[in-house]
Amino acid sequence: MRDYEAATAFLGEWGRFQRLVFFLLSASTIPNGFNGMSAVFLAGTPEHRCVVPSGANLSAEWLNASIPLELRGGQAVPSRCRRYRLAALTNLSALGLRPGSDVELESLEQEPCRDGWEYSRDVYRSTIVTEEQKSWANQDWQMLLLALTIPGLFCIPLWWIIPESPRWLISQGRYKEAEVIIRKAAKINGVPAPEVLFDTAEMQDWKPQQQQKAILLDLFRTRNIATITIMSLLLWFFTSVGYFGLSLSTPNWHGNAYINCFLSAVIEVPAYVIAWLLLRCLPRRYSLAGIFFLGGGVVLFIQLVPADFNVLSVGLVMLGKFGITAAFSMLYVYNVELYPTLVRNMAVGATSTASRLGSIIAPYFVYLDAYDKYLPYILMGSLTVLIGILTLFLPESYGNSLPESFEQMLKVKCFRNRQQTTGIRNAKESPKVLVTPL
């Protein structure tokens, strides 16, 4: 059967039909962004301290001194999880003793927050965290969640508007459906379609392949495809950890949380533009690896910035987010180019699942700042650099047609070198063998 690109070349590369499908698919991802980053505000944890019950019989001095101080970020601030033992404070207050002068606070026994917490309202009015102990009738965060979710309902009609992939329909032997879509695309693009798109004889030749049914294990059926799949799963998983880890950590940056979140979103616009230019002009492996090295390297460098240079730290985080965002968007294109039509959708689904697992793990990376504020960045930066190195071992798909079968798949770099070495050795042993460079 003719190559799919050759059979549909008359449509052009960027006609009205392609633009329509592209923009509809792009629009469907907007609600995903709303909900994906909503946790920054819905689950935000404001500054907090232990509640001292209003009925506690304490003087004003003892009430102000009821929370011990702890060192955080180089400053002495009220503890978030401990208070001085309330019964002891009540007795000392009743005796007329004064904190600090008559009683050394460091010698007092402490206890956990038995009566809950009080939260600062400077940044968030209410979140799921602040309302945990209160009535769920509070509408502040619930209305925000509702406003972010409703736009997703408008994407439901796209199920009937966006057509199925003709390439996939052909791989399943559904030629009539594919032909209807291709002719509709030709009409929208304003170009004439040939009278015969798929010859009957060609369809008969294609039957053995189109009768194949793909299963998940097909992603591991040969050593080459198994290696590509495992490397792709790792790439998607750790890229997602870096992307969502940096996105969800915006409240921890210096400055206003809302401005930081806005800047974190704005930096993605030039990242997508750069990714588009790299995909058009440069090889995939080196572009991806370079972007990974940029994103991971600057995130690793954050720990070396002096504490007073807060703006520089935020700038480096933004640059790291720029690199990881560009790499994330390029992975979608690169992943599609590596797999044959029969398992292409399955491969994208498997790697996307790995990505979702990475997004589940990402918040725990952010929470590691409770032990060391640089620890999340050290881990995310190191993993990003590591997958940048891993990318260099994948095959180069730039300038190649999409593979239609497993035999047309590109070889992993180390496998290609091994095959070439084996071919040269065999040629020396048998001079009659003609060696053709791969």
Q: Which H or E run contains 307?
A: none
**Measured on CA atoms in the order 426, 431, 432, 434, is the torsion positive or negative?**
positive
Beta-carbon neighbour count of residue 13 at 10 Å?
Answer: 7
Q: How far apart are CA 68 and CA 76, in angstroms?
A: 10
What's the pTM? 0.70
Length of the chain in terms of residues written: 438
Q: Which helix (H) or strand (E) holds 312?
A: helix 310-338
**Do 79 and 69 form a contact (C-beta atoms < 8 A)?**
yes
User: How many other CB atoms are there within 10 angstroms of residue 379's CB atom?
Assistant: 17
Q: CB neighbours (10 Å) of residue 41? A: 20
173 by Cβ neighbours in 10 Å (0-12 / 13-18 / 19+) ranks as: middle
Write 93-99 long-range contacts (CB < 8 A, 24+). Answer: 93/57, 93/58, 93/59, 93/62, 94/57, 98/61, 99/61, 99/62, 99/65
The crossing angle, in degrees rounded to 10, of helices 268-281 and 284-301 is 150
Which tokens belong to 171? 């791989």
| Selection from 230, 245, 395 nearest residue 328 by Cα | 245
144 close to 41: Cβ distance less than 8 angstroms: yes
> Going residue by residue through the chain (438 aa), what tens digit of pLDDT does each one get?
456 677 788 888 888 888 998 888 888 888 877 777 777 777 777 778 888 887 788 888 888 888 888 887 667 888 888 888 888 888 888 888 888 888 888 888 888 888 888 887 777 776 666 666 556 444 567 777 787 888 888 888 888 888 888 887 877 778 888 888 888 888 888 888 888 777 656 655 555 455 566 778 888 888 888 888 999 999 999 999 999 998 888 877 777 778 888 888 899 999 999 999 998 888 988 999 999 999 999 999 888 887 778 888 888 889 999 999 999 999 988 888 888 877 888 888 899 999 999 989 998 998 888 788 889 999 999 999 999 999 999 888 888 877 877 777 778 766 554 544 444 334 344 343 333 333
How far apart CA 244 and CA 325 sit, in angstroms, is 10
Q: Classify the C-alpha dihedral 214-215-217-219 as positive or negative.
A: positive
Helices 175-189 and 16-28 pack at an angle, to 10 degrees, of 110
pLDDT value of position 145: 78
pLDDT tens figures, 121-164: 777 776 666 666 556 444 567 777 787 888 888 888 888 888 88
Q: 277, 287 in Cβ contact below 8 A? A: no
Instruction: Determine contact, residues 209/39, Cβ cutoff 8 Å.
Output: no
